[in-house]
Amino acid sequence: MKITVLGAGAGGTAVAFDCAAHGHDVRLFDFEQFPDNIAAIAEQGGIRAEGDVSGFGSVVYSGHDIDLALQDAELIYVVGPAYSTEPFGNAVAGKLSAGQTVIVSPGSCGGALAFKRSAGLAVDDDSIRVAETSTLHYAVRLVEPGSIRVFLKLKAGNLLAALPRNHTHEILELVADVYPSMEPAESVLQTSLQNANPIIHPAVTLSNAARIEMTAGNFLFYEDGVSDSVGRLIEALDKERIAIGAKLGIDVLPDPEMGMRQGYMLETNYGSGYRKAPGFLGIGAQPQLDHRYLNEDVGYGLVFMSTLGEQIGVATPGIDAVINVASIVMAHDYRAEALRTPGTLGIADLSAEELAAL
């Protein structure tokens, strides 16, 4: 199959490697302001990986020309942080063809909706099948340009939903050779809410803010950064996320329970569960507070959950507190910026029942 991956960060590089290692023709694209990894992969003709998946995966194209990247593509992965979804959608607007499939991975709270709006596609347009996943399928870091270390490829627990949902099972069959453990979700709101990054990353980051600033992140994010009290903060946010899902009639699993299914974690305790999680061992903290763990996971993820909760009548005092503290610490009003809300996604007027039917 001819596959295009939009996004050459660690996640997109892992997707490109894995698809290439399974025998697919892979093209990799990123914008010109991110040249290093693209250039290294083009020069060596592919991607080197070590860890849970390893080897060398050849790629057909690695570059900045969106037309060359999309050439003959049957499946397109959009891989990157939430703030990359709309730029990638804008880049392919008017260039997609009927019969193609697009997967936003991870959806990062409304990713499929955001992509469709930026690509100029109606929500109910299924001539181009668009889906999102609840999380990235890997714990992965770039070792150097052209090389990745994969700490974990998920064993289970990555949900996928199409928008509209009637194509979910067809898309799962399309990707089953590379991702046999991917599971169907009820809707894109289930994939969005099951994404736990906004629940974990800001809580740990804010609780370790001084350590990050004073050491430039010279500690292990989970092993050193999640004390029992930090675990209680994560748990409080998780309960609010689960309550939003319940109001929508959607089952959202507690993150440690999902983490055990995915292969990250060994126990359901919110403190020691993260500290001892095999899938998180050795992952360092970010070097500064100005990082996606706040800018993305608060600015997009928690703001989305808070405004969605407000829309359907679910209180989120813990989530709101973290948004407020992050805004003070970063001198940045994440709530006022409203980068990803039901309003920006065009679903602000829907009832809980209508939202659940997306």
The residues that are catalytic are: 201, 297
Measured CA to CA, the distance from residue 226 to residue 113 in angstroms comes to 33
Question: How far from each other are the two terminal CA atoms of the chain, in whole angstroms?
Answer: 29
Cβ atoms < 10 Å from Cβ of 232:
12
> What is the crossing angle of helices 317-330 and 303-312, to 10°?
140
Cβ atoms < 10 Å from Cβ of 56:
14
Tokens 């800001």 correspond to 202
Phi, psi of 275 (to 5 degrees): -60, -35
C-alpha closest to that of 2 among 100, 104, 129: 100
Measured CA to CA, the distance from residue 185 to residue 197 in angstroms comes to 18
CA 318, chain centre distance (Å):
22
How would you list the strands of the sheet with 101-105, edge to edge?
A: 61-63, 25-29, 2-6, 75-79, 101-105, 129-133, 159-163, 183-184
